[in-house]
Amino acid sequence: MGFENNNRHLPLAKDGTRDEPLRRYYVSLDALRLVLFGLIILAHCYIDPPLLAGHDLLIAVYRLGWTGVQGFFVLSAFIITTLLLGEGDRTGRIDRLDFYRRRFLKIMPPLITVVIVYLVVIQTNWLHVDGLWNSLPLAGSKEHDDTLANLPLFIGLIGNIPYALGMIAPLTPALLIIWTLCIEEQFYLIFPLVFGFLNKNKRWSMLAILLAILINWLVRGATIHYMQSSGFDNATIWRIVYTFTPLQLDAIFFGILAALVHDAGIYRKFSSGARVILILAVVALTIMWAVSWNIVDEPIRYNLIGLVNLSFGLIVILLAEHDEWIRKSAIVRGMSRHGRNGYCLYLTHHGALILAFMMTRALQPFLANEPLISFLVRLVIAFLLSLILAKGLYWIGERPWQRFRKTRPVRYTV
């Protein structure tokens, strides 16, 4: 299989060589990863919206927390596709077995570590808090038994499908987050097998991905219409639309498309005026779906997921293209140092939220029993605790396995 080197658009490194995608490290994308994690922890730091009455901006941001997962899907697909493009340019082929090995060593050790810790803690009932939706279940309870029974399906990265279809009971929220890994890994099991076709003719590949996105939108829209006309409740519709793999693929497709567009240097061929117009269009699009999500009826919101994914795809392209300028910011560099640990942040954030809830409950006499203040304090504590727990998980569950990966100098690992 031959690979055409399309990296002429990339900037020259100090030694006069091109900055190949395989060696490229995007500081801005790791900073974006931290922002996306912030949205996720905001969505999971639950508070009844009526308690935020009068704080419309905070309510709007709180309701948009779920979009952090969509952003992670897009960003992950962009990085993985960029790495595969770089590997093809360097070696002329894709080592599929090595790809699967790297994915396994990246995903499974931290996941197994977190699962073991949670299962041990569940038996002690130490992190069970009555009335807290994301609390760990009581040992011996039905939720506990359901979690133990269905956890192997999720560790096997297929549990999201029977869960979405209502065939199995959900896990405790602290472990149910594995559904996102299920969607990604199910797709990446197939992606390397078809990547060679995508790389042979990037122009046709982009058109094929656009067609796949359109088909995904039509299928999702038809599914939503069918469920609504059949009398499904909104909770069931949301569970299926949000966690069933075939209905979430457009987010990954947008990430792949963004990587192909970036690799082909299409954005760099635009004039300065066209770039400004595109940036303004992305800002307008993001504001449009963000505002719409907060004012339209719930059934209509499900169809906005496609616009959310499109917006994140464009944002990723812009950040990657302007990374040389964005990385000059000390704030961005600081955010990237924590954001690059996004996977461990995601796995540990529910534990951090439970601990933060217990701490803020103890601080209630000092918080004047104000729900808003308690919510904000809990959010800040949970965010800081997540950074600490994620660093610990990295050193225990991820770092020891890095020596089993190839030693070539890549900053991003798949």
Task: Establish if 27 belongs to a structural domain.
Answer: no
DSSP state of 12: B
Residue at 25 is within a domain: no
Residue range of the domain that includes 399: 34-404
Q: Is residue 315 part of a domain?
A: yes
Per-position pLDDT tens, the chain of length 414:
333 444 434 443 444 444 444 346 899 999 999 999 999 998 888 766 666 666 666 777 777 888 899 999 999 999 999 989 888 888 878 888 999 999 999 999 999 999 999 988 888 888 777 777 778 888 888 888 898 999 999 999 999 999 999 999 888 888 989 999 999 999 999 998 888 777 777 888 899 999 999 999 999 989 988 998 999 988 899 899 989 999 999 999 999 999 999 998 899 888 888 888 888 988 888 888 877 776 766 666 777 888 899 999 999 999 999 999 999 999 999 999 999 999 999 999 999 998 998 888 888 777 766 777 888 888 999 999 999 999 999 999 998 888 776 544 444 444
Residue 227: inside a domain: yes
Is 20 inside a domain boundary? no
- Residue 276's Cβ-count burial label (10 Å; 0-12, 13-18, 19+) is exposed
pLDDT digits (tens, 9 = 90+) for 356-387: 988 888 887 777 667 778 888 889 999 999 99
Over the stretch 145-163, which tens digit does the pLDDT of each residue have?
Answer: 898 999 999 999 999 999 9
Is residue 383 in some structural domain? yes
On whether the pTM is more than 0.85, the answer is: yes
Asked if the structure places residue 24 within a domain, the reply is: no
Residue type (1 letter), 52? L
Residue 45 near residue 35, CB atoms below 8 Å: no
Domain count, the chain: 1
CA distance 9 to 232: 50
Does the residue 119 lie in any domain?
yes
